[in-house]
Amino acid sequence: MNIGKQNYPRYVNARAPRSAIVQNCIRAFFVGGFICMFGESLNHIYMALGMSKENAGTLCSITLVFVAVLLTGLGVFDKIAKFAGAGTLVPITGFANSVASPAMDSHAEGAILGIGVKIFTVAGPVLLYGTLAGAIYGVIYYLVGILF
User: Could you read off the pLDDT of 12-37 as tens digits, one per residue?
Assistant: 888 888 888 899 999 999 999 999 99
Query: For residues 130 and 136, what is the distance between their CA atoms, to the nearest angstrom?
Result: 10
* Burial class of residue 99 (count of CB atoms within 10 Å of its CB; 0-12, 13-18, 19+): buried
Query: pLDDT tens for residues 35-87?
Result: 999 999 999 999 999 999 999 999 999 999 899 989 988 989 889 989 988 88
Query: pLDDT tens for residues 93-132?
Result: 877 877 777 777 666 777 677 667 776 776 777 777 888 8
pLDDT at 144 over 80: yes
Query: For residues 88 and 39, what is the distance between their CA atoms, to the nearest angstrom?
Result: 13
pLDDT of residue 107: 67
Query: For residues 12 and 60, what is the distance between their CA atoms, to the nearest angstrom?
Result: 46
pLDDT of residue 18: 81
The residue ranges of every structural domain in the chain are 17-147
Average pLDDT over residues 3-18: 81
Query: For residues 95 and 30, what is the distance between their CA atoms, to the nearest angstrom?
Result: 19
The percent of residues above 70 in pLDDT, for the chain, comes to 91
Residue 2's CB: how many other CB atoms inside 10 A? 4
pLDDT at 142 over 90: yes
